Structure 1
Amino acid sequence: MQELNHTQIAQRLDQLTELSVALGASINTDELLERILMVAKSMTHADGGTLYRPSADGRSLCFHISVNDTLGIRQGGVHGDKIDIPAVPLYDEHGDKNLSSVAAYSANFRLSVNIEDVYQADVFNFSGMRMFDQQRGYHSQSFLTVPMADHEGELVGVLQLINAKDPVTGAIHAFTPTDQRFIEALAAQAAVAITNQRLILQLEELLESLVNLINIGIDEKSPYTGRHCQFVPELTMMLAEAVHSTDTGPLADFRMTDADRKELWLAGLLHDCGKITTPVHVVDKATKLETIFDRIHTVSTRFEVLMRDAEIRALKAKLAGGDHAAIDAQLAQELEQLEADRQFLRMANVGGEGMKPEDQEKVRQLAKMRWLGPVIQKKEPGGEEPPFRREEQDFLTQEEVDNLTIRFGTLTDPERKEINNHIVMTIRMLESLPWPKHLQNVPEYAGGHHERMDGKGYPRGLTKDQMSVQARIMAIADIFEALMARDRPYKKGKMMSEAMRILGNFSLNGHIDPDLFDIFVRQKVYLAFAHKNVDERQIDHIDESKIPGYTP
């Protein structure tokens, strides 16, 4: 066949240009590879073609797409049937390079191979091809095999074309040197595009792995928070999909692309990443006196000292000739009262929904009891250990009183501020990262889940209009998961009816978005999440007509 004229060459250059633009815009690797093969086949008028990809271990070439017009074969890729062709080994059983297969040879040496007639060639083993021809009634003749390698020389794939045809007569002829040069140029473009996609995918995988690394750190530090970091993104996506599918109401126009979903999912995974800076004794403070350990045991020991002192006084009174019966009665009464006070402080140490003012006052009164306790003395640098001594002192320190009189939960005001600071740290950490354009909203989505619709939330006091729908979605997911969680050391998981009542009231008082809450209930997102992730014993009957802020 004659070489191409200037017009035909110009047409091929146009095809290459169009493919370059398409390769730059494509985000689906399978679609990209299929287009590469079909353009190569069209450019050379080939009857068939195959695109190989290296296996994960780099030991073989796997058929990725295989097409033959005459036989009506289309396997692999986006639109083809399932590939049923065995892979081509790149090495033999001794570990030497496979030189018998033309595709393996091209891959191993990064060289193009142009064969005019495979039935006349004796360099490569075409027994498999000949068997294929015999079984299908086909005649393979000309082959053009071109390797695809990236900028570092790493094999990306192999492009193989079969039976170049005259576009007018249909006669089979050899692939020309011009055909080969154009396909090599196309293969080089394709390798760059594939490599770029692979690098993008690797960067995305690296980013997600780093996110999981942070969550592993949080999980190891606080298993309760780690579990929360997995469930909140899941519930966030469930509610987001429900909003996406809604075609009526104020949120009917909300839609998400796959990129939007990835961005929101990542934000969900990172929404509490700032807790990695929060002291674990604050994050997991199960009781009011807990720090590294629960100091109620220290308080209990002081009662033992008071009881021992009471017994010593009784013994001394008996030795002094006192009435034994009266002394025993008084001792029993005193010990009973001390034990009652000890049990009261044990109960006061447990966080609750609201400590009564009279109980808070009783703690303060008990704090004024006197006991003979050790005095902590600092050792001077280079000096001797100070002698041990005891002196009379208040039964409870002021810090213990402050903790035991906490009205709600287990955290003091400074500790609560420390907990709340996690969202500030989350925002600082996320805003310090150079997010690409398609992930630039991650800090806003993740950093807004403690804001309120009425502007009374934290840390920025944003209102509903200042928040994205995604951030408002995450706020509901965060609250509901926290209410239902039964693995927190400082509270029990709530029954679902109570959690929905609390959320309903939140929708009425400006805490959460009432429009999103309506979808949360109407689409039964809460129920789907609960059946998957919540203890069935917490899932009681819900009369949706009685949920505050919701109209069936």
Structure 2
Amino acid sequence: MQELNQTQIAQRLDQLTELSVQLGSSHDTETLLERILIVAKSMTNADGGTLYRPSEDKRYLDFTILINDTLQTHQGGVNGAAITAPGVPLFDDNGEKNLASVAAYAAHFGLSVNIEDVYKADVFNFSAMVKFDQLRHYHSQSFLTVPMSDHEGELVGVLQLINAKDDSGAIRAFSQTDQRFIEALAAQAAVALTHQRLIAQLEELLESLVNLINIGIDEKSPYTGRHCQFVPELTMMLAEAVHNTETGPMADFRMNDADRKELWLAGLLHDCGKITTPVHVVDKATKLETIFDRIALIDTRFEVLQRDAEIAALKRQVAAGGDQAAVAAIAQELAEQQAALRAERDFIRDANVGGEGMQAADQDRVRAIAQRRWTGPDGVERDFLDADEVMNLTIKFGTLTESERKEINNHISMTIRMLEALPWPKHLKNVPEYAGGHHERMDGKGYPRGLTKDQMSVQARLMAIADIFEALTAKDRPYKKGKMLSESLRILGNFSLNGHIDPDLFDIFIRSKIYLEFAHKNMDEKQIDVIDEAKIPGYTP
């Protein structure tokens, strides 16, 4: 058996040290696994090697990487062809441990197996290997199989090397020194793989918690749930377009995979603060809606006024006796009075629906109707509309009062507070800033912090565009209809001119046809009209 000299041992220690450094710095599992096998082969001068990983159900050892120099085979890993070999069963049909396979044996007992010549060994079943040798005109001889286990003893993988060679190229047995070095390598590799697995599990847990928050928002309000799905999608579409831009002010913007994950999470969480906003405010479809639409109460009051007018008219007709002219005049007066009440009722119903801008004359008419007197069920006469109803019905834009709008706007402050309270790892540290900046404006007139363009990241600025465009085009909001695509782009274009959104990012949004890609995927086709980009404000084709 070949013994190593001091120089060779030093070289192996260098390889082991170098691999340790790489294991600690690598974040790509496939690259990591391939490097482990290549170093193990090089360290023992093995002709071939295989790295197995346990299957998801723990019933098989799946081939992960297979390399053989003589056969010029490289399957799996980063650079190899697709794996064609079936997995090695860890259990037989009766559920008993498979001890006939050397790899399965090493996996079950956590022991290394060093075989000098497999054709002379009678402990394990090498029939499949013999067939392989016959088929490929190969000769398998020495085997070294080493299990890789984590700190809890759970199997991480199995490393198997074949046909160690001496300096002349002749096949030799794997020495005890070979075995000890490979066991040390396997131990370090198991730690690195476990570390990566734990990181992956933590990231999966984080994403699951994010989805849990969005499920809570969705259950609370299906309208905001859809928004929480589409904004990150549109944000990433625009981010990729900016990343691919090679000219203009945004030519230097680039993202790596970690940057993408950070932005995606921020998009998913950009409205997480809405979980604290009352549902009747988030979903307020009409001006009088709280937990129900109070327009029904006002309709009832109109019915009372109609009834009271009719009763008063009938009493007057009875008092008129047989004066047919008087009776007819009273009937005509009643019809006009009831028609006026119906017109006022219809007007109040229309006023209850939020719009783009209520005229001052209509606001005054609401106040005039409020001065009518009516008698309630308690027999007390009072104004037809109370102060709260007048305040709501005279809202100029939309359906929210000033205090309700502040409640809605407070969701972004809550989002920032919630996200900044979390101990984000270094590669996700910008999530609060990205998510918390989508209501800021380039001119500093946004909220909650009044940031200007120079104080905002590119990611927060592009999320602002995604947030606005999705809100404009959404057809499922209870307080508005989805706007046509052309109108949405006109509004967004004017925003780019008046300091609301970043004009450079808006230019890419249009030039890269992101708006059209998103529209065809997520908008109602009836909303997608013909777009003349030359007519979009703030954009020059």
SS in 1 for 2:376: strand
Q: Give, as a single letter, the amino acid of the residue that structure 1 aligns with 2:263.
A: L
Q: Which whole-Å CA distance do the structure 1 matches of 2:106 and 2:121 have between them? A: 16
Superposed CA offset, 1:400-457 (max 9, x none): 0000000110000000000000000000001000111111111111101111111010
Q: How far did residue 337 of structure 1 move? A: 1.2
Superposed CA offset, 1:48-87 (max 9, x none): 1100000000011101111111111111111111111111
SS in 2 for 1:53: strand
Q: How far did residue 240 of structure 1 move? A: 1.0
Q: Which whole-Å CA distance do the structure 2 matches of 1:78 and 1:88 have between them? A: 22
Q: How far did residue 509 of structure 1 move? A: 0.8
Match of 1:545 among 517, 522, 534: 534
Give the equivalent residue in structure 1 for 2:490: 501
Pair 1:86-2:86 in alignment:
yes
Pair 1:62-2:62 in alignment:
yes
SS in 2 for 1:476: helix
- Equivalent residues in 2 for 1:156-305 (5 A)? 156-166=156-166, 168-305=167-304
Give the equivalent residue in structure 1 for 2:19: 19
Q: Which whole-Å CA distance do the structure 2 matches of 1:246 and 1:137 have between them? A: 54
- Equivalent residues in 2 for 1:29-178 (5 A)? 29-166=29-166, 168-178=167-177
Match of 2:390 among 401, 409, 427: 401
Superposed CA offset, 1:18-48 (max 9, x none): 0000011111101100000010011011111
Q: Which whole-Å CA distance do the structure 2 matches of 1:247 and 1:77 have between them? A: 33
- Equivalent residues in 2 for 1:440-479 (5 A)? 440-479=429-468
TM-score w.r.t. the length of structure 2 is 0.98
Give the equivalent residue in structure 1 for 2:416: 427
Q: How far did residue 521 of structure 1 move? A: 1.3
Q: Which whole-Å CA distance do the structure 2 matches of 1:549 and 1:3 have between them? A: 77
SS in 2 for 1:454: coil
Give the equivalent residue in structure 1 for 2:362: 359
Superposed CA offset, 1:449-469 (max 9, x none): 111111010000001111111
Q: Which whole-Å CA distance do the structure 2 matches of 1:316 and 1:455 have between them? A: 66
Superposed CA offset, 1:87-106 (max 9, x none): 11111111111111111010
Give the equivalent residue in structure 2 for 1:10: 10
Q: Give, as a single letter, the amino acid of the residue that structure 2 aligns with 1:434.
A: P
Q: Which whole-Å CA distance do the structure 2 matches of 1:406 and 1:356 have between them? A: 10
Q: Which whole-Å CA distance do the structure 2 matches of 1:434 and 1:457 have between them? A: 27
Deviates more, 1:185-194 or 1:244-253: 244-253
Q: How far did residue 291 of structure 1 move? A: 0.8
Give the equivalent residue in structure 1 for 2:521: 532
Give the equivalent residue in structure 2 for 1:411: 400
Q: Give, as a single letter, the amino acid of the residue that structure 1 aligns with 2:49.
A: G
Deviates more, 1:461-470 or 1:524-533: 524-533
Q: Give, as a single letter, the amino acid of the residue that structure 2 aligns with 1:57.
A: D
Give the equivalent residue in structure 1 for 2:345: 342
Pair 1:318-2:302 in alignment:
no
Q: Which whole-Å CA distance do the structure 1 matches of 2:242 and 2:117 have between them? A: 61
Q: Which whole-Å CA distance do the structure 2 matches of 1:517 and 1:163 have between them? A: 62
Q: How far did residue 2 of structure 1 move? A: 2.9
Q: How far did residue 528 of structure 1 move? A: 1.4
Match of 1:369 among 372, 377, 380: 372
Q: Which whole-Å CA distance do the structure 2 matches of 1:111 and 1:67 have between them? A: 23
Q: Give, as a single letter, the amino acid of the residue that structure 1 aligns with 2:5.
A: N
SS in 2 for 1:390: coil
Give the equivalent residue in structure 2 for 1:515: 504
Deviates more, 1:429-438 or 1:304-313: 304-313
Pair 1:486-2:475 in alignment:
yes
Q: How far did residue 547 of structure 1 move? A: 1.2
SS in 1 for 2:442: coil
Deviates more, 1:11-20 or 1:301-310: 301-310
Q: Which whole-Å CA distance do the structure 1 matches of 2:191 and 2:210 have between them? A: 28
Question: Alpha carbon RMSD of aligned pairs, Å?
Answer: 1.0
Q: How far did residue 4 of structure 1 move? A: 1.5
Q: Which whole-Å CA distance do the structure 1 matches of 2:22 and 2:332 have between them? A: 96
Q: How far did residue 317 of structure 1 move? A: 2.2
Q: How far did residue 213 of structure 1 move? A: 0.7
- What residue ranges of structure 2 are gaps of 5+ in the alignment? none
Aligned length: 537
Q: Give, as a single letter, the amino acid of the residue that structure 1 aligns with 2:110.
A: R
Q: How far did residue 253 of structure 1 move? A: 0.8
Give the equivalent residue in structure 2 for 1:385: none
- What residue ranges of structure 1 are gaps of 5+ in the alignment? 375-388
Superposed CA offset, 1:125-154 (max 9, x none): 110001111111111111111000000111
Superposed CA offset, 1:501-532 (max 9, x none): 11111111111111111111111111111111
Q: Which whole-Å CA distance do the structure 2 matches of 1:278 and 1:176 have between them? A: 69
Q: Which whole-Å CA distance do the structure 2 matches of 1:112 and 1:301 have between them? A: 86
Q: Which whole-Å CA distance do the structure 1 matches of 2:169 and 2:189 have between them? A: 28
- Identity, % of aligned positions: 79
Q: Which whole-Å CA distance do the structure 2 matches of 1:437 and 1:186 have between them? A: 29
Q: Which whole-Å CA distance do the structure 2 matches of 1:71 and 1:212 have between them? A: 48
Q: Which whole-Å CA distance do the structure 2 matches of 1:549 and 1:205 have between them? A: 41
Q: Which whole-Å CA distance do the structure 2 matches of 1:242 and 1:303 have between them? A: 57
Q: Give, as a single letter, the amino acid of the residue that structure 2 aligns with 1:354.
A: G
Superposed CA offset, 1:357-412 (max 9, x none): 111001011111111114xxxxxxxxxxxxxx331111111000000000110000
Pair 1:332-2:335 in alignment:
yes
